A and B are shown apart, each in its own frame.
Chain A
């Protein structure tokens, strides 16, 4: 589903590589934690998967596409297969919950009928049935993140990328979000989640990839956050 071969990324005017000769593979349906300190290369890793930018060297395959040779106008097609969730939710403040989720379908040309069918289903999946008419500022942080996950998932991507999805949430709320991501993973969706949250990683016991200064220093099945805690 995701394969990196000797991928390095060095940003212009920077000496140290953000990613240094990374080779790894994530199979379909896997749940992977990406851990490491700030600046260890987690965000760069995620940006490369979305072809927000090209790697300096190396080859990346995502959802059966080789990204280096993927032409500019085919990038949207790649992104339609990837759902994305962020620490700051990125909801549209002047749209309701339903409209926020529907927006992701509208811009891809879905019909009103399809949208009316899919949106309530996905809101139910994330546990927000009955919240459809509220606006983001009427929701708690956890609820907002659920809306964001619903929006990322409503077009049925085969990969879900989550960049610190619990970074702004308290531990109890975070557990709820993790249960939701786990449920989405069980539908067959590959989940890649970058996080600092050691409690969550230790609890979930999923595959852990640790980056340090752009190098993969650990790739562990059913891993924990770190030996040092």
Chain B
């Protein structure tokens, strides 16, 4: 079958079945876009982990006048205790750098962060604890520091900033899993719709396929126009899905990024990667659905 004749047959098929073709295009577009959102949420988590794990620290708060934990029973930390803690921290192999923050520095930082808020006027310098800010070589090794220093005399508490971030990540993770799950279900819906559309197309064109069979067209050339119709509709749907993801990316860049300056967002490469993955998914799903349907409804 020559390309031009094939193209005209496919064109006739798509036009004759226009409403269903549109339905397939829209369903494929939505389902692939949802899958794409899932993939982008995933790259967002990766980007944020890379960005934040470089910056997060473990804070070892020292006993102050207000500390209530049992290890602070003997009062505020002494200079000897402080020096010993600092030396021990630096000796830990998982520790990259140690930085001491005095009560005065903590107070300055506090005033800066809560500038203009009523709380900054009510807090005095001696209410804020002094601390060691510890950067780890691997931020996941928090437990080592925790077990070595929590409960030690002069240490009030050991806090991991990662714990706060993890909550945020798990929120994005839920978003990602939800988008992926709904996306997968919609992809399944799209496959069923493609299958049903082709069944109707095969029925509508039973005269043509009957003639093709009789004059000895191969089963491949009988099925090819149908498969192409499914695949072309899917490719149009994929193009729309990619457009939606690109729109999401530009929305993030222009509307969301200026508001949330504390983090980085996924780049365009993540969008193109997701798009490539969606193309493969759409192509496979539509061609497999087509082949299975035609084997059943297009006897050759």
Contact between A92 and B211 (Cβ–Cβ < 8 Å)?
yes
Contact between B2 and A109 (Cβ–Cβ < 8 Å)?
yes
- Indicate whether A2 reaches chain B with its CB closer than 8 angstroms: no
Produce 1/0 per residue, A91-130, CB < 8 A to B. 0110000000001101111111000000000000000000
- Which residues from A are CB-within-8-Å of B262? none
Interface-located stretch among B75-83, B214-222, B231-239: B214-222
- Which residues from B are CB-within-8-Å of A90? 207, 210-211, 214
- Indicate whether A151 reaches chain B with its CB closer than 8 angstroms: yes
| Given A90-B211, A103-B211: A76 in contact with B1 (beta carbons within 8 A) | no
Max chain B C-beta neighbours (<10 A), residue from A79, A81, A83, A151: A79
118-155 of chain A: CB within 8 A of chain B: 151-152, 155
Main secondary structure of the interface of B (DSSP, over half): helix
- Which residues from A are CB-within-8-Å of B208? 92, 103
When chains A and B are docked, how far (Å) is the Cα of A106 from the Cα of B215? 10
Contact between B218 and A104 (Cβ–Cβ < 8 Å)?
no
Query: How many Å from the CB of B220 to the closest CB on chain A?
Result: 9
- Indicate whether A15 reaches chain B with its CB closer than 8 angstroms: no
Query: Interface residue count for B (Cβ, 8 Å)?
Result: 18
Residue of B4, B216, B221, B222 touching A78 (CB-CB under 8 A): B216
| Given A106-B1, A111-B2: A76 in contact with B211 (beta carbons within 8 A) | no
Contact between A80 and B5 (Cβ–Cβ < 8 Å)?
no
When chains A and B are docked, how far (Å) is the Cα of A77 from the Cα of B215? 9
Number of A-B contacts (CB under 8 A): 59
When chains A and B are docked, how far (Å) is the Cα of A104 from the Cα of B1? 10
Max chain A C-beta neighbours (<10 A), residue from B4, B5, B208, B216: B216
Contact between A106 and B218 (Cβ–Cβ < 8 Å)?
no
- Indicate whether A185 reaches chain B with its CB closer than 8 angstroms: no
When chains A and B are docked, how far (Å) is the Cα of A182 from the Cα of B208? 28
Query: How many Å from the CB of B69 to the closest CB on chain A?
Result: 81
Produce 1/0 per residue, B1-45, CB < 8 A to A. 110110000000000000000000000000000000000000000
When chains A and B are docked, how far (Å) is the Cα of A89 from the Cα of B295? 27
Residue of A93, A103, A106 touching B2 (CB-CB under 8 A): A106
- Which residues from B are CB-within-8-Å of A93? 207
Contact between B216 and A80 (Cβ–Cβ < 8 Å)?
yes
- Which residues from B are CB-within-8-Å of A80? 215-216
- Indicate whether B212 reaches chain A with its CB closer than 8 angstroms: yes
Query: How many Å from the CB of A100 to the closest CB on chain B?
Result: 8
| Given A73-B218, A106-B1: A79 in contact with B213 (beta carbons within 8 A) | yes
- Which residues from B are CB-within-8-Å of A106? 1-2, 5
- Indicate whether A84 reaches chain B with its CB closer than 8 angstroms: yes
Residue of B5, B207, B210, B218 touching A76 (CB-CB under 8 A): B218
| Given A76-B216, A79-B214: A107 in contact with B221 (beta carbons within 8 A) | yes
- Which residues from A are CB-within-8-Å of B218? 73, 76
Query: How many Å from the CB of A110 to the closest CB on chain B?
Result: 8
When chains A and B are docked, how far (Å) is the Cα of A92 from the Cα of B216? 17
When chains A and B are docked, how far (Å) is the Cα of A80 from the Cα of B216? 5
When chains A and B are docked, how far (Å) is the Cα of A93 from the Cα of B219? 23
Contact between B215 and A104 (Cβ–Cβ < 8 Å)?
yes
- Which residues from B are CB-within-8-Å of A92? 207-208, 211
- Which residues from A are CB-within-8-Å of B222? 107
- Which residues from A are CB-within-8-Å of B219? 73, 76
When chains A and B are docked, how far (Å) is the Cα of A108 from the Cα of B2? 9
- Which residues from A are CB-within-8-Å of B217? 76, 107-108
Contact between B207 and A107 (Cβ–Cβ < 8 Å)?
no
- Which residues from A are CB-within-8-Å of B213? 79
Produce 1/0 per residue, B185-221, CB < 8 A to A. 0000000000000000000000110111111111101
When chains A and B are docked, how far (Å) is the Cα of A90 from the Cα of B212? 11
Query: How many Å from the CB of B260 to the closest CB on chain A?
Result: 58
- Which residues from B are CB-within-8-Å of A84? 214
- Which residues from B are CB-within-8-Å of A104? 211, 215
- Which residues from A are CB-within-8-Å of B221? 107, 109
Query: How many Å from the CB of B215 to the closest CB on chain A?
Result: 4
Produce 1/0 per residue, A152-181, CB < 8 A to B. 100100000000000000000000000000
A-B contact pairs, 15 of them (CB 8 A): A73-B219, A80-B215, A83-B215, A90-B210, A107-B211, A107-B212, A107-B215, A107-B221, A107-B222, A108-B1, A108-B216, A108-B217, A151-B211, A155-B215, A155-B216
4 pairs of A and B residues whose beta carbons are closest in the complex: A80-B216, A79-B216, A107-B217, A76-B216
